[in-house]
Structure 1
Amino acid sequence: MADIDLDNMTLDELKKLQKSVNKAVDGYQDKQRKEALAAADAAAREKGFTLSELTGGQVKKTKAVSPPKYRHPENPEQTWTGRGRQPDWMKDALENGQSKEEFLIV
């Protein structure tokens, strides 16, 4: 590993380095956590169990992301799942007499 001369770095360089180090540490911990969870899950399955059966249902599951259902006609990067607050572009279109069906993603 290269030695870094912290004494000769500016404050901005130190803050940038700190941010990079924090990001690297978080990424490493996430990777280790995922590997440990996969190993525990595999060991449980070898014995005929699910991990949630062995932990009493305490295994944290990730939330499924809803795919977008509607797309802005002029800017395809703007989408809406149909859940939650309506985006302004959809409100404007509905106020102008258009229907949601016109924006459905096929």
Structure 2
Amino acid sequence: MSTKKLELEALSIDDLWSLHEEISGILSDRIRAEKQELEKRLAVLGGGAAMLAEAGGAGVSPTGKQRRKYPRVLPKYRNPQTSETWSGRGKRPRWLVAAMKSGRRIEDFRIGEAAPKLRQRA
């Protein structure tokens, strides 16, 4: 065993706890200072975009421009077994891909327009 470890083992719980608090304080100060330094470097490299994004919140893109508000998109397709919905945008959900592989058509899952047509035929 090293002498430093023996010295620590000889300390009382109160002494060890005060040493722990002192080390924690020093570490948090150093981490805070390093974070500020990195934020300064990032602001210089990014042209201040990081500061703008921080000030503007979620409505600001990484380039610093205000994001356009998109309208809410209503779902167009529904899984009849679990009532999961999909708006028709983005990647197709797993349940729809599996159903289409089993031979069903995407129109079978359509919400709104498909339902009245089925009622008219019946």
Task: Give the TM-score band, short-chain normalised.
Answer: 0.3 to 0.5
TM-score, normalising length: structure 2: 0.36
Give the structure with the higher percent helix: 2
TM-score, normalising length: structure 1: 0.41
